[in-house]
Amino acid sequence: MAAVPPSFLGTLFAVSADPSVISFAGGLPSTAVLDTVGIAEAAADVFADAGPAALQYSTTDGYRPLREFIADRYRRRVGLDITAANIQIVNGSQQCLDLVAKCLVDPGDAVAIEAPGYLGAIEAFSLYEPQFSAVPVGEGGPDLPVLERVVTRDRPKFFYAIPNAQNPSGLTYPEEARRAVADLLDGSETLLYEDDAFGELFFDGRARRPIAADLPGRALLSGSFSKVLAPGMRCGWLVAPEEVLAQFNVAKQAADLHSNHLCQLVLHRWLTTHDLDTQCRRVARLYEENCRALVDALDDLCPDLAHTIPEGGMFLLARLPRGISSLALFEEGVRRGVAVMPGPPFFLGGGDDVIRLNFSNTNPERCAEGIGRLAGALTALG
């Protein structure tokens, strides 16, 4: 536990619970796009059809019809040639972070991770005491010379990456960067661990081919229904070669026997009675509207903040003027009724010159008001 960096999440949740604070700090999907009625109807159908069996223990690898649905969707959307045998259901893709590291990482092993990187991954991996190797990420994707040097010198167990609408930056790897990453890792000792939490949330509706598709047998790919359908049901999955899942399954069984069986049945019923593509387009349209409102407010009210312009997802990253600390801005912002996420939790060192802003759980009016408060905080800090 001493190896785990201090968590900012407790402070964040406390601030976000205050209704007087306009929060851009969290990462919650909008409640406006959660299909409460559809999920309730699916649950009633499951109980009517399955009865007590819906409340019984199940298999560790997950409900097979749900795994078949996921595999079929990958084949249709992105041409990934997999079957249900390549899929393990988990309690949200966050559980994958823990169990993959448990299976692959011994103390002192190298793990390559994006900088900035997802704070939940940094915390999860840290429990297994790796040596992190940071790979800077920008508009062109990962810094390829750095990644090549890390792979050659440090021989990391895996490179953890979020190529689609990355958390925290909101950036998406271009096609040429994806091919370059696949070429670089192919033949090396380093696996790819591709976290695709936001691949369904591109504003243009176009699916991006996962890097994992070009690294057969050398890649892990995780996904989740949390961002598009039901975050509270905690249903995600891992795609991996069967021999890898055989080991992963042992770690999963030791952790919790199996993921929530009832929720898997309810989700599968919803997926077979509704159109997931329509749901994803609905969510992406709302987030695009919110993102544009946030970008416009930043450009109008905080012109000194350089920021990313996401193609999808839920976040963007802004760089602060010289001399302003993101931690100080967080504190001053809360005093003025606005919360942003400071940069340091997303870095292995440094990061106090950037902030992450979330646009999924807001609306255009609150974006304008909240960024107005942020502008006041920036002015107060000089």
Q: Looking at the 3D structure of the chain, how many domains does it have?
A: 2
Per-residue pLDDT reduced to its tens digit, 126-180: 999 999 999 999 999 999 999 999 999 999 999 999 999 999 999 999 999 999 9
Domain-embedded: residue 161: yes
Residues 124 and 258 in one domain: yes
**Beta sheet of 354-358, edge-to-edge order:** 306-307, 315-319, 354-358, 341-342
Position 6 pLDDT exceeds 80: no
Using alpha carbons, select from 92, 160, 185 the residue that is nearest to residue 348.
Answer: 160
Domain-embedded: residue 228: yes
3-class SS of residue 255: helix
Position 298 pLDDT exceeds 90: yes
* Range of the structural domain that residue 176 is part of: 54-273
Residues 134 and 252 in one domain: yes
Per-residue pLDDT reduced to its tens digit, 41-91: 999 999 999 999 999 999 999 999 999 999 999 999 999 999 999 999 999
Phi, psi torsion values for 211, nearest 5 degrees = -60, -35
Using alpha carbons, select from 239, 224, 355, 229 the residue that is nearest to residue 298.
Answer: 355
Domain-embedded: residue 306: yes
**Residue where one domain finishes, among candidates 239, 273, 307:** 273
Share of the chain above pLDDT 70, in %: 100
Task: Provide the pLDDT for residue 7.
Answer: 73
Domain-embedded: residue 136: yes
Instruction: Identify the helix (H) or strand (E) that includes residue 375.
Output: helix 364-380
Residues 362 and 253 in one domain: no
Residues 168 and 215 in one domain: yes
Residues 288 and 189 in one domain: no
Taking the CB of residue 301, how many other CB atoms lie within 10 A of it?
A: 17
Q: What is the CATH number of the domain that holds 76?
A: 3.40.640.10
Domain-embedded: residue 158: yes
Q: What torsion, rounded to 10 degrees, do the Cα atoms 7, 13, 18, 24 define?
A: 90
Residues 246 and 190 in one domain: yes
Average pLDDT, the chain: 96
pTM over 0.85: yes
Instruction: Identify the helix (H) or strand (E) that includes residue 64.
Output: helix 64-78
